[in-house]
Amino acid sequence: MSTTFEGPVTKEVTGQFRHQALFYSGGRELVARLLPFVSEGLQAGDKVLVALSTPKLDALRKALGPEANKLAFADMDSLGANPARIIPLWSGFTEGLAPGQRARGVGEPITAKRSPAELVECQIHESLLNVAFADGPPFVLLCPYDTGLLGEAVVEEARCSHAFVTSGSQPPVASQHFVGLEASGSLSGRDLPPAPPDAHLFRVDTSSVALARHLVRLRGEEFGLHQSEAWDFALAAHEVIANSLKHAGGGELSLWAEDASLICEVRDQGRFADPLAGRLRPEQASLTGRGLWMANQLCDLVQIRALSEGTVVRLHIRKHTAGR
């Protein structure tokens, strides 16, 4: 697969980041499409990383043969289980390029196995990639979408979040539906389902932080989390509450169970300005930006929405059969 880009390219995407959706159907076609993309990168001296589910990684390794030893692999089902952890993976990968070297990646965060909530956050992640790497080093990122398993609405959304698209044996072309860089950074317009009527509500201010943390931990243990998981979930909630107190003077905490997950939501009247908050590793010396980062490391899913009336942060944790 050639990486020569055809078609008009808007001013917004003339930088060094090339974000490309690959539409395929079935594992055989995926491997057939990835082989030339990966081999071309290796021949050019690119730094190459492929992040897919383990069965797909195994199939690609087998097809590559000895060449597989020349690139890096990552299990997307593990490292990308929480979509907010994927940008740090690519950020670390693109660091330290040699002069004139380019990074080349393959990442498939969106599969038919994703829950509805995870799917939406994966779609937000795909859009935020455009913001995260807009001013970054030379980087070509190919994002596969299995059209045989994913709905048409998911495919159409991919056309909006990727500046380039390719399908079949066609070379990549500029997507006519790409929303652009500014819209890619928006965290509004994607409504969250409302909390259920029986959700536990708790007003959080400076006098009730410790009680709120205690409540989350107890609810986690009642839900069936391991003790360490319940403590982790309470710590994540505490970090979000601390942000709420700092930026909005506090807010309202809601707790409820949904299928196999326990959900904690913090809603306040603050204004959320950084769409990448919690997705970029904080600098060692920085005193800010650690709360949402920590929440993403401790929780299975973190949903953030910037609303006209304030900000919502929703934390999810699932029951696990073994400790973390």
The tens digit of pLDDT for each residue in 218-241 reads 999 999 999 999 999 999 999 999
Is the confidence at residue 324, as pLDDT, over 70? no
Give the pair of three-digit tokens for residue 56: 């797909």
Helix (H, G, I), strand (E, B) or coil at 296: helix
d(CA 176, CA 151): 20
d(CA 311, CA 136): 28
More confident residue, 74 or 319: 74
Q: pLDDT at position 13, please?
A: 47
Mind listing the pLDDT tens digit for each residue in 264-310? 999 999 988 889 999 998 875 455 568 999 999 999 999 999 988 89
Percentage of the chain exceeding pLDDT 90: 82
Q: pLDDT at position 286, please?
A: 54
Q: CA end-to-end span of the chain, whole Å?
A: 40
- The verdict on pTM exceeding 0.85 is yes
- Residues paired with 4 in a beta bridge: none
Is the confidence at residue 139, as pLDDT, over 60? yes
- Residues paired with 44 in a beta bridge: none
164 phi-psi bin (left φ>0, alpha ψ -120 to 50, beta other): beta
Helix (H, G, I), strand (E, B) or coil at 301: strand
Give the pair of three-digit tokens for residue 105: 């990646």
Q: Which residue segments constitute the domains of the chain, with CATH numbers given?
A: 11-184 (3.40.50.300), 200-318 (3.30.565.10)
d(CA 148, CA 228): 40
Neighbours of 57 (CB within 10 A): 19
Give the pair of three-digit tokens for residue 91: 């950020």
Q: pLDDT at position 3, please?
A: 37
106-110, 216-220, 246-250: segment of lowest average pLDDT: 246-250
Mean pLDDT along residues 104-109? 98
- Residues paired with 265 in a beta bridge: 254, 314
Q: pLDDT at position 189, please?
A: 76
